[in-house]
Amino acid sequence: LAIASLSRAPLVGNLLEFRRDRLALFARLRAECGDLGAFHLGPRRLVVVSSPELAHEVLVAQADAFEKGPTLRRFARPLLGDGLLSVDNARHRRNRRLVAPAFTPRTIAHHVALMADEAERSAARLLAAGAAGRVVDLADECTQLTLAIIGRSLFSFDLSQDAAAARAALETVQRHIDGILRGFVPLPAWLPTRANRTLARALGQLDALIGRLVAERRRGGPKDAPDDLLSALVFSRDADGEFLDDRQIRDEAMTLFVAGHETTAFALAWTFHLLLDHPDVGGELDRELETVLGGRAPGWDDLPKLPYTLQVLSEAMRLYPPGHTPGRVAARDVILGGERLPKGTLVLVSIWLLHRRADLWPEPERFMPARFVDERALPRHAYLPFSAGPRNCIGARLALAEMQIALAVLRQRTRLSRASAAPVEPEMLVTLRPRGGLPVRVSRYGV
Ligand code: HEM
């Protein structure tokens, strides 16, 4: 086979390097193998693409030749079941149509007030920590914020108040998935290890909780139901009048919960990280916020009036795409870049490499929000923070609105400074996160 493979050790292949430093492995792969290369985890070959054309082939043009990869299909299955993120192509189209009503602009607009509300709470938490002289992990704070937002927009649930148990259960599940990806070779879920027992208990709690909520919604009927994503799922019908059954609602709700909070949290955290090093960008951002908002939180109608705020977020997601490596498995033999990939081949699309190519992005390492002044002038198929094709991110618009609001509010209330001189490095787990968090000190804006 003609696809170049990265040099590797016998038996383990590139496993040790993969565990130690995935970023370095991907960089070496691109340098040694180009647009289409491969590395090995033990006997398993993983093909990596990092050109706009090949990414487009895998995600869009030949999307029906690829299913989701084993991380989602196998390891995340106890949690996500057949939700949108992990369901096979055959069932995906119908389910996507049924979930889509949860993401219309009208539904998103409805959530703007609670997003602003939670962002204000987050600012208050940060300021309280600042006043007490405490160092805050901003990545953690952003996670609290997005968790609170998804909790309310999905379930009309106040996670900070009445759902401490749900939150703890979700964190258990999240840690378990991280653990799986860190180790990469997971222990079978049926082994009665302590970790597996804890996971089973957490999943049981979440299932019971969602089951209860769904039952309440059905009993109350659509008129009395809160206008949230769960109602959209419970009352959604497709053209044939079919709706999602309880199991499907549970899987979709869990999927939205998992897909919807950590990605957004880390995109925000990276944005603040970049702003800490770029006072010029911060200054321009402040001017836009001052002119348009003058200190208030943005409403839905304000969002189009905050183009620079959006450019800052877009550029942050270019440099640090939270969904850094969508994975697929060839469902049949496929021709990709002139090479034949046998059925079963694992293919990774490296958004990380794509977003940092010097031939597409002049001075790729530099943080320059002005790149996004005119989105139509971007290199084709080269900017994919939300992936592309039929399996692209259904939550993109919601995420962008949420981040615009959070950035606008936090920026107008707080000033952050670094609490540690240690360099902040990205770690590739489920999402691209700052390794060891993002320690900051907080003071009040304008003081
Ligand atoms: C900055 C924030 C976000 C980023 C960077 C992001 C990124 C992504 C990416 C890259 C994918 C595609 C994965 C693949 O091709 O394998 C995806 C899919 C998905 N995302 Fe997001 N996402 C974000 C926020 C959200 C939010 C807020 C929600 C929901 C509330 C959400 C729900 C989903 C779902 C359900 C899918 C699967 C869609 C399908 O296959 O039909 N995401 N996301």
Output the pLDDT for position 379.
95
Q: How far apart are CA 376 and CA 357, in angstroms?
A: 18
Confidence tier at 446 by pLDDT (50, 70, 90): confident
The 3-state secondary structure of 238-293 reads CCCCCECCHHHHHHHHHHHHHHHHHHHHHHHHHHHHHHHHCHHHHHHHHHHHHHHC
Q: Which atom of ligand 1 is nearest to the CA of 96?
A: 41
- In the chain, helix, strand, coil percent, each to 5? 55, 10, 30
What is the DSSP code (8-state) at residue 322?
Answer: S
What is the rounded average pLDDT of the residues 177-197?
Answer: 62
Residues 152-166: pLDDT tens digits?
888 887 665 556 677
The more confident residue out of 437 and 77 is: 437
Q: Does 255 contact ligand 1 (Cβ within 6 A)?
A: yes
Output the pLDDT for position 221.
75
Alpha carbon 266 to its chain centroid, in Å, reads: 8
Q: Which atom of ligand 1 is nearest to the CA of 267?
A: 1
What is the rounded average pLDDT of the residues 280-308?
Answer: 97
Q: How far apart are CA 72 and CA 78, in angstroms?
A: 10
Alpha carbon 203 to its chain centroid, in Å, reads: 21
Q: Does 144 have pLDDT greater than 80?
A: yes
> Against a cut of 0.85, is the pTM above it?
yes
Rg (CA), the chain: 22
Q: Does 432 have pLDDT greater than 80?
A: yes
Residues 370-392: pLDDT tens digits?
999 998 999 999 999 999 999 99
Confidence tier at 5 by pLDDT (50, 70, 90): very high
Residues 35-61: pLDDT tens digits?
999 999 888 899 999 999 999 999 999
Q: Does 350 contact ligand 1 (Cβ within 6 A)?
A: no
Confidence tier at 182 by pLDDT (50, 70, 90): low
The more confident residue out of 333 and 171 is: 333
- Note the residue count of the chain: 447
Residues 109-122: pLDDT tens digits?
999 999 999 999 99
Q: Does 222 have pLDDT greater than 90?
A: no
- Angle (deg, nearest 10), helices 396-413 and 279-292: 100
Mean pLDDT in the chain? 90
Instruction: Give the residue, out of 252, 263, 352, with the most ligand 1 atoms within 8 A of its beta carbon, to mutate for a pocket test.
Output: 263
Output the pLDDT for position 292.
98
Query: What's the CA-to-centroid distance between 235 and ligand 1, angstroms?
Result: 22
What is the rounded average pLDDT of the residues 136-148?
Answer: 93
Neighbour count for residue 345 (Cβ, 10 Å): 22
Q: Does 69 have pLDDT greater than 90?
A: no
Q: Does 202 have pLDDT greater than 90?
A: no
Q: Does 386 contact ligand 1 (Cβ within 6 A)?
A: yes
Q: Does 185 have pLDDT greater than 50?
A: no
Query: What's the CA-to-centroid distance between 146 and ligand 1, angstroms?
Result: 14
